[in-house]
Structure formats: C-alpha cells, structure tokens
Structure 1
Amino acid sequence: MQKLVRQLAWFIAVGCAAATTHWLVVVAVVSASGLAPLAANVIGWLVAFCVSFAGHYQLTFKHHRAPPAQAARRFFAVSALGFAVNELAYAWLLRVTDLPYDILLALILIAIAGMTFILGRLWAFRRKG
C-alpha cells in the first residue's frame, strides 16, 4: 500500500509539472503569437509530453522496468489518446461556454490525469505485455 501511495505522489508531482508546462506553453503561444488556443494546445501537449514521459519513467513507474523505447511508444499512445479527448472536449467547451480558454484547459488537464495513471500503470510502463 505504501508503494502505491508513493507512486501516486510521484504521479501527481510529475503530472502537475507536465500540466503546468502544457498550460504555460499554450498561454505563452496564444499571447505571443495570437495563435488560436486549439492550435497552441498541440504545441503545449508536445512539450508537456517530454516532461511527462521523463518524469514518469524515472520516478512514477521506475520499478516497472520497461525498456525505454517500449515505454516511450506506449506512453505516447496513452498520451495521444488523452490529448484526443482533451482536444475534443476543449473544442466543444470553447464553443458552448463563456469560460476563459485558460480555465477550461486547466479543468480538462485535471480530468485526463486519472486515465493517464491507470493506463500508465497497467500497460505503458509494464515490462511485459
């Protein structure tokens, strides 16, 4: 049980770092270039993926000992699925609500985290399977 609690703590820390990176990149790109939030979201996700994979591989799921290339491919698939859900929800919510784009993005990033932990733990960073 203590191992799971430690793993969850690392997941939250790494996830917060990646989500903050994602959010900051989107806000910076929109502010600096005027790029639409949905387009900037792609850039934010790609930068945050690097933070997320490195942190989860080295800290959160280090005991799973998956080969780096295998883990990277699998985690990219998990992250891409999460991003697809993110982008669809973001596009829809940008159209149907009056909430600011940055608040909507923060809420969506939090919602995707649970799926990422489960798929990362059960598949992406597993050595076998």
Structure 2
Amino acid sequence: MRLLAGQILRFVAVGCLAAATHWVVAVACVEMLGLAPLRANVVGWLAAFCVSFAGHLLFTFRHPLHAWQRAAARFFLVSAGGFAVNEMAYAWLLHVSSVRYDVLLAAVLAGIAVGTFIASRLWAFRRTPGA
C-alpha cells in the first residue's frame, strides 16, 4: 500500500508538471500565435506528452530503461486516448459554456488524470513479461 501511495504522489507531481506544460503551451499558442483553442490544445498535448512520458518512465513508475520503447508505445496510446476524450470534452465545453477557454482547459486536464494513472499503472508501464 505504501508503494502505491508513493506512486500516486509521484504521478500527481509529474502530472501537474505535464498539465502545466500543456496549459502554458496551449495558452501561449492562442495568445502569441493566434491559434484557435482546439488547435492550440493539440500543440500543448504534444509538448506535455514528452514531459509526462519522461517523468513517468524515470520517476513515477521507475520503469527499466531497456524496455522504454514498449512503454513509450503503450503510453502514447494511453495519452492519445486521454487526449481524444480531452479534445471532445473541451470542444463541447467551448461550445456550450461562456467560461474562458483557459479555465475550461484547466478543468478538462484535471478531469483526465485519474484514467491516465490507472491505464499507465496497469498497462503502459506494466513490468510483467506477459503484459
């Protein structure tokens, strides 16, 4: 149980850094480059993916470096699935809400985190040979 609690805390720390990266890059793309929020969200996700994968590989799950390619492919699928849900929810919220785009993005990013942890722990960074 202690191992799981530590893993959750590390996941939250890496996730916060990745979410902050996602949010800052997306908002910068809107504010500085004039991209539409949904397009900026894609750029933010790509930047955050790099931060998230490296952090989870090395810190959260302390995955063996020799097996990073399989973990990268699996984590990409987990992250892309989470991003697909993120983008759909974000598009819907932008359409039905009058809340600012940056506030909506922060809410959507927080909402995806639990599912990403579960899929990452049980599949993407799973260490058993048959997984």
- State the TM-score bracket (shorter-chain normalisation): over 0.9
Residue type of the partner of 2:99?
L
Q: CA deviation at 1:65?
A: 3.3
CA distance in 1, matches of 2:32, 2:46: 18
4+ residue segments displaced more than 2 Å: none
Cα deviation digits, residues 66-104 of structure 1 (max 9, x gap) = 710000000000000000000000000000000000010
Percent sequence identity is: 62
Q: Which residue of 2 aligns with 1:73?
A: 73
DSSP-derived class of the 2:103 partner: helix
2:110 matches 1:90:
no
In structure 2, the gaps of 5 or more residues are none
**Scaled by the length of structure 1, what TM-score is found?**
0.96
The Cα of 1:46 is off from its aligned counterpart by 0.2
Unaligned runs of 5+ in 1: none
Superposition TM-score, scaled by structure 2 size: 0.95
Aligned ranges for residues 55-70 of structure 1 at < 5 Å?
A: 55-62=55-62, 64-65=63-64, 67-70=67-70
Give 1:20's aligned residue. 20
2:118 match? 118
Q: Per chain length, whose mean CA-contact separation is higher, i.e. which structure has more relative contact order (CA < 8 Å, sep 6+)?
A: 1
User: CA RMSD for the aligned pairs?
Assistant: 1.0
**3-state DSSP of counterpart to 2:35:** coil
For the residue of structure 2 that corresponds to 1:98, the secondary structure is coil
Counterpart in the other structure of 2:42: 42
CA distance in 1, matches of 2:10, 2:117: 11
State how far apart, in whole Å, the 1-side matches of 2:56 and 2:90 are. Answer: 25
Q: Distance in 2 between matches of 1:116 and 1:36?
A: 26
Q: 1:65–1:125: 8 Å Cα contact kept in structure 2? A: no
| Cα distance in 2 for residues equivalent to 1:121 and 1:85 | 19
